[in-house]
């Protein structure tokens, strides 16, 4: 295979290649990155010609996979007690988002979709190179009905959402006219997606995950406005059965969580090719003893989690068995090690290669970036992760940050732990 990689090129040689398309790895592979940060060649070492002047990285004993993609994060989020939350200013949240984005990138997650809370300026900072961070798509603010999962009102009358900055316009709305106006405000603020709360949730004080929120007519308005503006579409927080069905009938592009999806919901997802983003990491994190003891996960949330999590395992396995596409999402926040989700999806019943595809090819397809990232193919951006071991034989390796040995974004090394 002849190549013309150009100045500043790099070759990873002798690696096990898992290209995101096939579970059959190339055991002695070579991947060449051109000076423009794109993949020039990838395949068996005997078939790839590497010029002498190209810098080489010895990958013997390591596995190379595409950069991971997380379709559901919260850059400004954190698991923290209320008394810490109320001290945060808008500036504090932006600083947190920038630091969290860098941590995500260095963990091997090179592309993300923020599912609410991050202003578009964070995306621009990462894209410009001013700050290191993943390729980022944002939803700006959550869209919620009054009293819904995105409404910060509490029984005392205190609004935990506080005073929102201009680039995070309020997402609270009721009725089709208000929903249309609020959707347009998010789009004006730079949203790539509209994030709707189609059901209640675990952390919200005044509702339950089973409760349906927004009518089909209201949800349809969001889908219409996203299409009219030419943005990516609508993602729906949807845990309860009725809310999942409402969101699917309205035409959303992905279902987040999907805990109580039923037969009809599964049939609609398969028929309309709508992926499920299951988010197991957030459940594990919220039940961490330190967070429960500190009150960062309050008692009402603990009760809801225990009520939902076993049911979600059953519905997830049913959805997978019947052909629902799975895309990786974590609901990750500042303390999260996002690649852990691959291991958790395997624990929930997904085979290891399907979990890798969920975090690469399927996630890239959902975010409409499959022409740019998601597989190891010539012409695509060299977003790459080198891991210690074989993730198909040992999916638990994704839990250990030290096993993510080398991370490249567009051909540039952003984390190197090979000598750690």
Q: Do residues 326 and 320 touch, judged by C-beta distance below 8 A?
A: yes
Mean pLDDT of the chain: 94
User: DSSP character for 200?
Assistant: -
For residues 315 and 28, give the distance between their C-alpha atoms in angstroms, rounded to a whole number. 39
Mean pLDDT of 137-146: 97
Closest CA to 231 of 137, 123, 360: 137
Alpha-carbon Rg of the chain, whole angstroms? 21
Question: Which residue bears the tokens 């592009």?
Answer: 253
Task: Pick 68-366's CATH classification: 3.90.1200.10, 3.40.640.10, 1.10.1470.10, 3.20.20.140.
Answer: 3.20.20.140
Inform me whether the pLDDT recorded for 3 exceeds 60. no
Mean pLDDT of 224-251: 98
Inform me whether the pLDDT recorded for 1 exceeds 50. no
CATH number of 10-66+375-416: 2.30.40.10
Beta bridge partners, 37, equal none
How, if at all, do strands 10-17 and 26-33 pair?
antiparallel
Q: Do residues 316 and 348 touch, judged by C-beta distance below 8 A?
A: yes
For residue 418, what are its two tokens? 């090979």
Listed in order, the ranges of the chain carrying CATH 3.20.20.140 are: 68-366
Mean pLDDT of 240-253: 98
**What pLDDT score was predicted for residue 8?**
59
Q: Do residues 364 and 42 touch, judged by C-beta distance below 8 A?
A: no
**What pLDDT score was predicted for residue 82?**
75
Q: Do residues 141 and 117 touch, judged by C-beta distance below 8 A?
A: yes
Inform me whether the pLDDT recorded for 420 exceeds 70. no
Inform me whether the pLDDT recorded for 360 exceeds 80. yes
* Helix (H/G/I), strand (E/B), else coil: 176: helix
Inform me whether the pLDDT recorded for 74 exceeds 70. yes
Closest CA to 18 of 52, 67, 54: 67
**What pLDDT score was predicted for residue 157?**
67
Inform me whether the pLDDT recorded for 67 exceeds 90. yes
Inform me whether the pLDDT recorded for 6 exceeds 90. no
Residues 6+ apart with CB under 8 A from 326: 275, 276, 277, 278, 319, 320, 345, 350, 354, 358, 362
Listed in order, the ranges of the chain carrying CATH 2.30.40.10 are: 10-66+375-416
Mean pLDDT of 186-192: 98
Q: Residue 22: CA atoms inside 13 Å, Cβ hemisphere, count?
A: 8
Q: Do residues 256 and 238 touch, judged by C-beta distance below 8 A?
A: yes
**What pLDDT score was predicted for residue 161?**
72
For residue 251, name the pLDDT band (cuts at 50, 70, 90): very high
For residue 273, what are its two tokens? 């090719």
Q: 38 φ, ψ to 5°?
A: -110, 155
């Amino acid at each position: 295979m002849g190549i013309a990689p150009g100045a500043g090129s790099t070759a990873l040689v002798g690696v096990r290649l898992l290209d995101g398309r096939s579970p059959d790895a190339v055991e002695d592979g070579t991947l060449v990155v051109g000076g423009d940060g794109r993949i020039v060649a990838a395949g068996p070492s005997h078939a790839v010609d590497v010029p002498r002047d190209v810098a080489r990285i010895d990958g013997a004993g390591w596995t190379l996979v595409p950069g991971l993609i997380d379709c559901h994060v919260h850059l400004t989020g954190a698991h923290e007690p209320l008394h810490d939350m109320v001290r945060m200013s808008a500036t504090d949240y932006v600083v947190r988002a920038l630091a969290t984005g860098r941590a995500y990138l260095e963990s091997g997650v090179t592309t993300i979709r923020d599912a609410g809370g991050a202003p578009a300026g964070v995306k621009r900072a990462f894209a410009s190179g001013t700050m290191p961070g993943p390729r980022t798509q944002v939803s700006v603010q959550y869209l919620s009905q009054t009293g819904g999962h995105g409404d910060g009102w509490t029984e005392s009358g205190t609004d935990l959402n506080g005073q929102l900055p201009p680039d995070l316009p309020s997402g609270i709305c009721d009725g089709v006219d208000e929903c249309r106006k609020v959707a347009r405000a998010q789009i004006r603020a730079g949203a790539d997606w509209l994030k709707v709360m189609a059901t209640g949730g675990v952390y919200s004080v005044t509702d339950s995950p089973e409760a349906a929120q927004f009518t089909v007519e209201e949800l349809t308005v969001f889908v219409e406005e996203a299409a009219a503006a030419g943005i990516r579409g609508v993602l729906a927080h949807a845990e309860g059965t009725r809310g999942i069905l409402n969101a699917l009938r309205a035409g959303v592009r992905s279902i987040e969580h999907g805990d109580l999806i039923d037969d009809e919901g599964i049939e609609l997802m398969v028929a309309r090719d709508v992926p499920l983003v299951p988010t197991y990491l957030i459940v594990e994190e919220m039940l961490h003893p330190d967070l429960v003891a500190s009150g960062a996960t309050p008692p009402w949330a603990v009760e809801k989690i225990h009520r939902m999590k076993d049911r979600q395992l059953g519905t997830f396995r049913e959805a997978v068995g019947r052909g629902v596409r799975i895309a990786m999402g974590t609901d990750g926040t500042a303390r999260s090690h996002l690649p852990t989700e691959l291991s958790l999806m395997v624990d929930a019943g997904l085979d290891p290669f399907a979990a890798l595809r969920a975090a690469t090819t399927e996630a890239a397809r959902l975010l409409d970036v499959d022409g740019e990232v998601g597989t190891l193919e010539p012409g695509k951006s060299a977003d790459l992760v080198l891991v210690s071991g074989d993730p198909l034989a040992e999916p638990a390796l994704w839990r250990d940050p030290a096993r993510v040995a080398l991370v490249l974004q567009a051909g540039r090394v952003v984390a190197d732990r090979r000598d750690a």
